[in-house]
């Protein structure tokens, strides 16, 4: 079957009302689900899954993909408005999005988040359609040593999000790394800091830590001084994103999209590190470097491009290899299987019509995302107008429900409260929270991949330098560290 034939077959498959309606409905569900902290894109996809069993395969899968894409964007709404990331992927958006909202520019930040998301989504989908085969073979050359080198490099992001003191940033990161060791050991299955509590054996729930670290300190800080916010402009402001903003951030958006595509096509990394990496790269290259973390619109654009760039690209390993890149695509694979479809190289031959149908649907999804997102922003912006001393108790209650819903476990609510006090202490002592979060995500990956490499080689450290990919990332890491050290010594000299 030629390319045009496949394309026509795909078109005839998707060009139905149901397929587009499912995609549209999926994006709506996703945006709302992502906007509710704790519900997150993952849960929204899992909840939608049973409905797809009775649908046509392509309709069902488009529904799930819609939820996925909508959810990743939706997460940025509470991140900007109430400093609570709706999905882990949107935690980088907080860094600049929330300061903008505090300044009365919530509308502008949300608008930029949407524009960046849609652009990145489009880039990501195009990458999937054009380079799926090539990127997939690349993904399979990532074993534990390559992962180790990549993650080591990603940890250098910490320097980019540490604010004015690198040492305090490093301290924050180390606390994150330490807390991430709680749970069962990967290789021996023994207990680490679990104190015999079965709830601790699973490790600290990531979303509980995340929400505890960002949202709860706001509530506590308000108890310390309930009137601190008075006099600051916090009306939603009719501020809107302008085309000039978009053009100024365009480079960062494209860079972020490409980072997203690259990290998304490698199974097992996910959207949050990608958002942080994109953010720190944008900061490094930007002329307004000093303004990052204080409400710089380019920062919002970069983080949102970074996380939405992943969304299309995670389908690369899924479709081309049958390998799920993250939890969400693992659930989507379930939908394929229920319909008797087996993602993998053979699917491009056996079910080419479905593959091309999906591609067409995906391209349309970027447009739908823009439409639904615009409406959602208008709907949610009123949150910025709610009096803060009504909003804060509401955020607290919402977080309790949301964190419980993640794993149906009251213990996680306790983790969130405890992390709230840690976060508050860090706030008082001016220790930035972002390095903690990056370390908490990447720490276990670093350790696990290191130990898997050691198992593979029989404890020979040379395996960590086994091929060009590892050399590349080691070189990148060295260059970055060299640049950081030079910066510090320059500052010291002045």
Of positions 6, 16, 56, 191, contacts other proteins by CB under 8 A: 191
Residues in region 319-348 near other proteins by CB under 8 A: 321-324, 327, 330-331, 333-334, 337-338, 340, 342-347
Residues in region 407-466 near other proteins by CB under 8 A: 407-410, 413-414, 417, 420-421, 429-431, 447-448, 450-452, 454-456, 458-459
| By CB under 8 A, residue 489 contacts other proteins | no
Closer to other proteins by Cβ: residue 39 or 301? 39
| By CB under 8 A, residue 405 contacts other proteins | yes
Of positions 2, 3, 17, 189, contacts other proteins by CB under 8 A: 189
Opening angle at CA 174, ends 168 and 179, nearest 5? 130
CA 85 to CA 296: how far, in whole Å? 18
**Cβ–Cβ under 8 Å, residues 415 and 113:** no
Binding map of other proteins across residues 91-120, x = CB under 8 A, - = no contact: ------------------------------
Q: Please give the backbone phi and psi of residue 89, each rounded to the nearest 5 degrees, phi first.
A: -60, -25
| By CB under 8 A, residue 468 contacts other proteins | no
Of positions 8, 55, 174, 484, contacts other proteins by CB under 8 A: 174
Distances (CA, A) of 273 to 152, 241, 315, 431, 479: 12, 26, 18, 20, 20
Site of tokens 């929204």: 44
CB of 452: closest distance to other proteins in angstroms? Answer: 5
CB of 389: closest distance to other proteins in angstroms? Answer: 4
Of positions 21, 224, 382, 471, contacts other proteins by CB under 8 A: 224
Identify the DSSP state of 140. Answer: T
**Cβ–Cβ under 8 Å, residues 257 and 124:** yes
CB of 201: closest distance to other proteins in angstroms? Answer: 4
Distances (CA, A) of 174 to 180, 282, 434: 10, 24, 12
Residues in region 369-398 near other proteins by CB under 8 A: 387, 389-390, 392-394, 396-398
Residues in region 32-71 near other proteins by CB under 8 A: 36, 39, 42-43, 45-47, 49-50, 53
Q: Please give the backbone phi and psi of residue 129, each rounded to the nearest 5 degrees, phi first.
A: -70, -40
Q: Is 427 exposed, middle or buried (0-12, 13-18, 19+ CB in 10 A)?
A: middle
CB of 193: closest distance to other proteins in angstroms? Answer: 5
CB of 486: closest distance to other proteins in angstroms? Answer: 18
Residues in region 139-168 near other proteins by CB under 8 A: 140-144, 165, 167-168
Beta bridge partners of 184: 191
| By CB under 8 A, residue 471 contacts other proteins | no
**Cβ–Cβ under 8 Å, residues 275 and 299:** no
Closer to other proteins by Cβ: residue 225 or 238? 225
Closer to other proteins by Cβ: residue 16 or 199? 199
| By CB under 8 A, residue 352 contacts other proteins | no
């Amino acid at each position: 079957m030629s390319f045009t034939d496949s394309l026509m077959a795909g078109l005839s498959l998707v060009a139905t009302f149901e397929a587009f309606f499912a995609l549209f409905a999926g994006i709506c569900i996703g945006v709302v689900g992502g906007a509710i902290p704790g519900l997150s894109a993952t849960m929204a996809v899992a909840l939608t899954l049973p409905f797809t069993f009775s649908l046509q395969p392509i309709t069902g899968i488009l529904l799930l993909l819609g939820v996925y894409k909508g959810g990743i964007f939706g997460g940025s709404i509470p991140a900007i408005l109430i400093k609570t990331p709706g999905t882990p992927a949107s935690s980088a958006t907080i860094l600049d999005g929330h300061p903008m909202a505090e300044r009365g520019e919530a509308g502008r930040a949300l608008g930029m988040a949407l524009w960046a998301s849609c652009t990145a989504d489009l880039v990501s989908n195009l990458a999937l359609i054009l380079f799926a085969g090539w990127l997939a073979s690349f993904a399979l050359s990532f074993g534990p040593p390559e992962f180790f080198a990549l993650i080591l490099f990603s940890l250098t992001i910490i320097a980019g999000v540490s604010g004015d003191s690198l040492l305090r940033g490093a301290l924050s990161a180390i606390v994150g790394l330490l807390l991430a060791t709680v749970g069962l050991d990967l290789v021996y299955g023994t207990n680490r800091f679990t104190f015999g509590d079965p709830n601790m054996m699973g490790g600290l729930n990531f979303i509980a830590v995340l929400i505890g670290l960002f949202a709860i300190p706001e509530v506590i800080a308000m108890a310390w001084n309930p009137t601190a916010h008075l006099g600051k402009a916090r009306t939603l402001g009719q501020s809107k994103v302008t085309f000039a903003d978009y053009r100024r951030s365009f480079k960062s958006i494209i860079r972020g999209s490409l980072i997203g595509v690259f990290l998304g096509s490698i199974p097992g990394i996910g959207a949050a590190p990608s958002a942080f990496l994109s953010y720190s790269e944008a900061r490094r290259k930007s002329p307004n470097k000093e303004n990052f973390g204080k409400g710089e619109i380019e920062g919002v654009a970069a983080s949102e491009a970074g996380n939405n760039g992943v969304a299309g690209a995670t389908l690369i390993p899924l479709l081309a290899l049958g390998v799920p890149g993250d939890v969400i695509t693992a659930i989507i694979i379930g939908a394929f299987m229920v319909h008797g479809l087996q993602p993998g190289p053979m699917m491009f031959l056996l079910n080419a019509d479905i593959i091309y149908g999906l591609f067409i649907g995906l391209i349309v999804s970027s447009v739908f995302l823009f439409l639904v997102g615009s409406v959602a922003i208008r709907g949610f912006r009123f949150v910025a107008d709610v009096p803060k001393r009504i909003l804060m108790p509401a955020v607290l209650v919402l977080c309790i429900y949301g964190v419980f819903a993640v794993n149906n476990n009251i213990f996680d609510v306790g983790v969130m409260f405890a992390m709230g006090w840690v976060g508050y202490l860090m706030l008082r002592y001016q220790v930035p929270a972002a390095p903690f979060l990056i370390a908490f995500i990447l720490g276990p990956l670093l350790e696990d991949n290191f130990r898997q490499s050691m198992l593979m080689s029989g404890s020979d450290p040379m395996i960590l330098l086994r091929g060009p990919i590892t050399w590349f990332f080691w070189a990148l890491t060295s260059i970055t560290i060299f640049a950081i050290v030079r910066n510090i010594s320059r500052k010291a000299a002045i």
